[in-house]
Amino acid sequence: MEISSELLKEKIQNGDKVIVDFYASWCGPCKVMKPTFEMVSKKLRESDSPVELYTMNVENNQEFAAQMGIRAVPTIISFSNGVDVNTVKGMQTESQINDLTKQLLNG
């Protein structure tokens, strides 16, 4: 579930469909959203979806987070075909996270 900046760069370069929740351990909304994000991720893995969900702690990946333009947490970025296709800031519901995955599948 937690992804390193090296592995994420590799997945982006490979054109994988990836959604990343950039969070911080001190962030209240991040803590509230994390179980929901993990549940959606588990359901996607169980259904063999081509969309993969990961989390990245911005405190442990400050340089990469800065490169990605992360200025607030939580921030969710969707990647497909090597590019950032969608960025949403703030806490997201299960329905909103599912919508992000559908956008990648249909895009």
Residue 30 among the catalytic residues: yes
Of the residues 18, 30, 44, 51, which is catalytic? 30
Of the residues 27, 33, 77, 104, which is catalytic? 27
CA angle 74, 30, 23 (to 5 degrees): 50
Residue 27 among the catalytic residues: yes
Contacts of 3 (CB under 8 A, 6+ apart): 11, 20, 54, 55, 56
**Residue positions annotated with a catalytic role:** 27, 30
